[in-house]
Structure 1
Amino acid sequence: MSTAQHLATIDLLCSREFPAEYGRSDAGAGGPGYHIAELLTSEEFWDDDGTRREETEEQYEAERDGLSVLLADRWGAPAVFGLSSLFERTLSAGEEGTGDEIPEPWCSLSSLVPDLHLWQADGRWVALGVSQWDKELPFQLIAVVTEIDPP
């Protein structure tokens, strides 16, 4: 997918109504108050051309940074929102039963993405991140649009 297609997907998500229930869509996943789009997905790391994990990670971060520059022209410089402490809160809330529940999409994002480039635009939050579920799984460039404030 090209940069123009990524921007078109983000624009579509910004204008689209949020689903009433969690489910998949043509762009990715969504639920009450949010959309998560999978803009780009890498191949496996031990593919035929020998692409190394580090190179793939750098490429995906460069893709995110390039999109961030274009979105910054619209909405200003992004905040970089780290999710590691949120992930720790999610884990300890589950273990201790503290009731300190993290709302979606932030709870799921905290286990997928170390940090997000984040803007607030037209009453919604727009975020870009690079995720990797596990070392053997591909990287993904994701876009998030939500009306739910970050915790």
Structure 2
Amino acid sequence: MDIARHIALVDELCFRPFPAEHGPSDGGTAGPGHFTAVLESSHGLPDGDPAERAVTVEQFEKDRDALYERLSLRWGETDPWNLLTVLLRSEREEIPEPWAELSARAHVAHLWEVEGTGRWVAVAVADRDEADEVRLLAVVTREAPP
């Protein structure tokens, strides 16, 4: 993992203008009011060995936590955010993007409100769907978490 490169991308996304339409963005997706950047991705895990997937998830969780350590020095320590509660709420209420998608893909995120930017940053491991690759994600949005 290139932590300096990941932090530089998060910093850039905190100030980059949001696109008017949904679509691809540098290494991820974007839409009105949000970016989702794929910082790292597994390769071939949906059809692979479950043990290999577990090892990859564990490594990406360590990488997420390393990002948390660096970013918390800047923006403060926060408790992990349980995305299952957001996912469960989506059954009875409309959850705004990018939070609905993030809760469908990841279990836990680290989350900060970045002072002076009007934006929120979340880092998470997307591993909820075993038919998909495992990904380390950074989400930057102006939408406050639900």
| TM-score of the aligned structures, taking structure 1 as reference length | 0.86
Q: Residues 2-151 of structure 1 correspond to what in structure 2 (within 5 A)?
A: 2-45=2-45, 46=48, 52-90=52-90, 92-93=91-92, 100-122=93-115, 123-132=118-127, 134-151=129-146
* Aligned length in residues: 142
Once residues 129 and 94 of structure 2 are traced to their aligned partners in structure 1, the CA distance between those partners, rounded to angstroms, is: 24
Looking at structure 2, the residues matched to 121 and 102 of structure 1 have their Cα atoms a distance apart, in angstroms, of: 21
Q: CA RMSD, aligned part only? A: 1.7
* 1:101 match: secondary structure: coil
Q: 1:86: Cα distance to partner?
A: 1.4
Distance 1:143 1:59 in 2: 16
What amino acid is the match of 1:22?
H
| Native 8 Å contact 2:127 2:135 kept in 1 | yes
1:32 Cα deviation from its structure 2 partner: 1.2
Structure 1 CA distance for aligned equivalents of residues 81 and 143 of structure 2: 15
What letter corresponds to residue 135 of structure 1 in structure 2? E
**Secondary structure class of the residue paired with 1:128:** strand
User: Over alpha carbons, which structure has the higher Rg?
Assistant: 1
* Letter in structure 2 aligned against 1:54: A
The amino acid that maps onto 1:112 is R
- TM-score normalised over the length of structure 2: 0.89
Identity of matched residues, %? 44
SS class of match (2:18): coil
Give the distance between the partners of 1:150 and 1:105, measured in 2 at CA: 9
Tell whether the 8 Å contact from 1:82 to 1:114 is kept in structure 2 after alignment: yes
Bigger mean CA deviation after superposition, 109-118 or 20-29: 20-29
- Structure 2 gaps of 5+ residues are none
